[in-house]
Structure formats: C-alpha cells, structure tokens
A and B are shown apart, each in its own frame.
Chain A
C-alpha cells in the first residue's frame, strides 16, 4: 500500500513553545489529509481535515488558532501546535487520502508523532 511518513516521530518541548509536525505522502498525491489526536488508551479523534490549497476544516472543539494546519502541496501537510501546554501532550497521527484509490478509497496512516510538553 501507499506510504505516509511523519516527522518528527517524537518531540519534547517546553510549555509555551510551538511545535511543527510534518505529514508526507511518499508515493502518491493526497488532495486530502487528516489529523488525529490520540490520548493514552483511547481512540483516535479527528481534529481537522486538510485540503490542498484551501483552508482546513476543524472539528467541533478544536481551536484553529492553536492547531495551525497548512497543506501547501499534494504531498505535504503540516500541523503546528502553537503555545503548547502539558495538556497538548498526545500522540498525533495523520492520514492521507488517495483519491485514485479506486473502489477502496483507502486512507493511509502515518506512524504518528509523540508530543510531550513539559
């Protein structure tokens, strides 16, 4: 299947700093990428839908000014956690939607980024 990468795989930062997480589709073009957050022992919660060349669509309760999403190309979306606080510590996972996936329309998930805010 298609490959999605994330960078960094883990990051530790001080409270108040901003952290950027990259999501790349390596062998296909992704017009749509999704950002999820997963707390320990919980399910994935969709944060936002990132569309190439347009503004992201945020889920209810997700602050767009805190979680900045940029989808500047068909292979790259970035999530910036601004002024991070300890409660933002979580596992952030992106997925990329391959519109050419045919019948399956499968989303391909990245390996995740573990963010720890001290």
Chain B
C-alpha cells in the first residue's frame, strides 16, 4: 500500500448497506495482498487475502477485488453492521522478500444506524 502519513479518510455507511473500501499499492512486484481490520487500541486483524494470480476472492460477507493493471485493491463488505466500524488497511508484499508487508494509508469505516 501507499502510506503517506496523512489523516485517515473516512467512509460513512448506513447499517445494512454495502461498503467499498479502496486501496492503491505501488510495488508492481507484490504478489500477495491482505486486508486488515483494526479496532481502536488493538492490533490489526486479518480479514481476507488474495494472490496476484486471482482478481477476485470471496469470504463471509467480504469480497476482495484486485486490479493489477492499475495496482488497485478493493474490499467490499456486504450488509455492513455496526461491528464493522474500524480502520481498514490493505497490505501488500512480494513473497520473495521475507514477508515484508507494506501497509496502505487506511480508511476509517463508520457505520451509522
């Protein structure tokens, strides 16, 4: 991901709606991508991952889309719930570089009732 030290952008979504969080990465050699969820005062929690030989992967209520052409990653959360409120980070790495993750800037998701 591209981490530039800026304040976190915020996405406000109404409960029950779908959320789409976007991320850009810069390393064209990255071949593994992960989305993390971080709640206040806690460490990152793994949500879903995708390898570069795929362009879509689905989990429970979450879908990750990968567009290698424009180096873009997105996380879709279906039927967003209040418990989804957190900061979401994408991270990427090249599996040939000792699993060294590069985190994106992050997006704060606020779920309104």
Contacts and interface: CB of A to CB of B under 8 A. Distances in A.
Interface string A35-52: 000010111111001000
A109 B46 CA distance: 9
A41 B6 CA distance: 8
A63 B49 CA distance: 32
Interface stretch (B13-21, B37-45, B56-64, B73-81): B37-45
A95 B45 CA distance: 11
B93 to A, nearest CB: 9
B105 interface: yes
Contacts of A114: 41
Interface residues of A, number: 27
B100 A46 contact: yes
B41 A110 contact: no
B3 A112 contact: no
Interface residues of B, number: 27
B5 A42 contact: yes
A44 B92 CA distance: 13
Interface of B: 1, 3, 5-8, 32, 34, 36, 41-46, 49, 89, 95, 98-106
Closest 6 CB pairs of A and B: A109-B43, A43-B3, A44-B103, A43-B103, A109-B44, A112-B43
29 contacts: A6-B43, A39-B5, A41-B7, A42-B7, A42-B8, A43-B89, A43-B103, A43-B106, A44-B3, A44-B89, A46-B100, A46-B101, A49-B100, A91-B41, A93-B43, A93-B44, A95-B101, A97-B99, A105-B95, A105-B99, A106-B46, A107-B99, A109-B43, A109-B44, A110-B43, A111-B43, A112-B41, A112-B42, A112-B43
